[in-house]
Amino acid sequence: MTGTRRSAPRIRAGDRVTAPADAPIPVLHVDAQILAVDKPTGLLSVPGIGPEKADCLVARLQSAYPGCRIVHRLDRDTSGVIVLARDAASHRDLSVQFQDRRVGKHYLAWVADVPAFDEIIVDQPLRKDLDRPPRQMIDPRHGRPSRTAITVLRREPDRALLELRPETGRSHQLRVHCAFLGHPILGDDLYAPPDIIAAAPRLMLHAWRLRIHHPVDRRPRVLEAPSPF
């Protein structure tokens, strides 16, 4: 790291911010077919294994929106826009849009150090790291194609704000690609060294904007969650 690190709340390596059970989940858009919300950091998208991981975004939303179904996921510690379907036909339609890469995904991330580039494409295949789950790893031979477009939005002495536009949707793709560039995301307890984990009170990754086509009228919808940082 270069420069003097800006003061920030400190956490220990491995600590996580947990979304309080009574925390409101902001609704960004709702109609008869789709529901879009701003998922808080520290909340699973879907239930995990075991009763201690039953609390999740879908479970909290289904009490107010019965039958809503997940279309895509965000990591537990990633905040931001997530869209759910409210009926089976909309779920099929939206799922195909994600599968065929016909959605536009824009993330914001604060990363360590200051990149020398203004824009870059990272094209590095990913697969599970079988020796260190749940980590993913770059593997040019056995990995699945993974591609991310990156633009530097702001520079500070020891960190930078990036816009990340994943063209594929691999698990941990943005976290691994930033670490590959030598600019791990602040607060990333899987891919950053301890001092960079401790430089932020949470994973500084936010799903800022999502562009889809509405499953009924086919018109594009841009769903946006204000940046929490």
Write out the catalytic residue numbers.
75
CA–CA distance, 45 with 111 (Å, rounded to integer): 24
- What stretch of H or E contains 163? strand 159-166
**Amino acid of residue 38:** D
CA–CA distance, 212 with 208 (Å, rounded to integer): 14
CA–CA distance, 164 with 169 (Å, rounded to integer): 12
CA–CA distance, 200 with 104 (Å, rounded to integer): 27
Choose among 188, 215, 212: nearest CA to 199: 188
Please check whether residue 189 is in contact with residue 13, taking contact to mean a CB–CB distance below 8 angstroms: yes
List, in sequence order, every beta strand (DSSP E) within 12-146: 27-30, 34-39, 69-70, 79-85, 104-112, 119-123, 126-128, 136-138
- The radius of gyration of the chain's CA atoms, rounded to the nearest angstrom, is 18
Taken as a whole, the chain contains a residue count of 229
Residue with tokens 């993330």: 107
Residue 169, both tokens:
């949707």
